[in-house]
Structure 1
C-alpha cells in the first residue's frame, strides 16, 4: 500500500515524502522545497508559506529512504517530484537531483520513469526543454480558464493559462515527450460539462494526456469532490473529443499522503505523535 515518511532535516524542519505501490510499479513521491509559495487553494503544502529550497542531497535522500524501506523482492521503478514545493522554483537543485537519480552510478531510474511537476513556471519549462533529459513534465492545470484558475492558483494571475499551454507545446516540440495535465476535480468549481468543453478547446492540438483526480480533503479548505456521475461525465466528454484521460485512484488519503495533503511540519510535538519518521 501507500506509506508516508517524515524526514527530519538538520534545521529542525520536517518534510514529507510518499511511497506508492501499484503492482510492480513502485514510486517515490518526493518534495523539492520546505513549504511552498504557490498557495494553491486546495493544497496543504503551501499553508505555512515557503521556508527554503531543499538541497540536492535532501531531494535524493528522500528517494533513498523509500528505496531502503522496500522489501527484498521490491524495486523502486519511478520517481515523481510532486511532493511539497514547486520543483521549477528550485530549478538547479532539482535538475542536479534528477541527473543523480537517473545516473547508473546513482539510483539508475530511467529518465522516462521520472516526472517533474509544475504549476506552470514558464521560464523553468523553457529551460527544462533544453536540458536533453527525457523526463516527463506534468502541469498542474486544474481549470480550463484564467478566471477559475486564478481563484484556486493565485500565481496564475501573473502567468496566464494560454502562456502555460503555449510553453507546453514548445516543450513537446523540443523533447517529443507528451505533456501530462493534472486536473483536480472540485465540486461546484471546475467540474461542469461547460468546464470540460472549455478544457477541450484549450488543449486542442496539444500532444498530451489529462490526469483527473477528485479533490482530496484538506481541513482548512472545505472542498468536496464531485459525484461519481459528474466525474464520469467529465471523463467521457474529454474522451469523446480524442483526449487521452486517466482517472487517478485515490492513494494515501487515509494517512494524509494523497495529492494536496502533504504539508510542512514545524512542530516538535510531532515526534511524539507520528509512528513513522526518518532522522
Structure 2
C-alpha cells in the first residue's frame, strides 16, 4: 500500500478478506495513524511518498541484476498492454451505450465525459452510475478535480458541491447524486437558489437506495433484500423537477443521452443552479 486516495468504494466483509493471509504487506504512508490501521504491515515506512518511492527505486536499481531488471520491464509492459486493452474495451462499450440513446448508467457517464470542461469539477455520490469511468477510461486529466466516496458516509455530496463551488467560483461544478443521496441534503437546492450559486446537479434517479441494496447483498442480508419496499423510492416516485422548482432551482428532465448532453452544456453556460432529473433506464439487478 502506498498512501492511497481511494477512487472507488470497496465493500467487503469477513471472511472474504481483500488481502490473502499469505500476502506480505509493505505499507508506505505519510500519516503515522494509517500505518497498520486495518492490516498489520510486515514492513511499515513513514515518510513523504514521492521521496520514499524515489529512494526505494534508486536502491532497487543499484542492487538489481540484469535479469531482474529485464523481468521488471516485461511485467510493466504486460500491465500496460492489459490496461490499454481493458481501457479500449470500456471505451467501445461506452460508445455503444451512448449510441443506443438510452439513459443507462454507462451512457450517462459518457455524456458527462463528452461535455465536462477540462477545468470542471466532478462531485459524485451515486453508486448507480459508473463513477470510476473517467478514471478507468483514461479521461481523468486532473484527479484533484474529482471527489467521490471514501467510506460509509451518506448524503455528503449536496453540501460538498456547494463548498467546492464557493472555493473555486471560476470552475464549473457538476454534482452527480443518486436519488437517495440527494434526499439527504435536498435543502441545498434552496441555498444555491437563494445565494445564486451556479452548481449543476445531476440526479441519477433509479428510484431506489442502491447503496443499501449493495451492502445488503455483500453482507448476505437476504431478508432485507426481500423487503423491497424499504429500499425503493416508489409509490409514489419523487418528481425531482417539481421538487427543485419548489426550491427555486431551474430543472429539466432529459429523455435520452443526447438531450442530457445538450442540457449539461446549456446548464454550465446559464450561470445559475440547474438540476437535471435523469431517470435511469437500468436499475440494480444483482
So what's the TM-score if we normalise by structure 1?
0.36
TM-score w.r.t. the length of structure 2 is 0.36
Which structure has the larger Rg over C-alpha atoms? Answer: 2
- Structure 1 or 2: more strand by fraction: 1
Higher helix share goes to which structure? 2
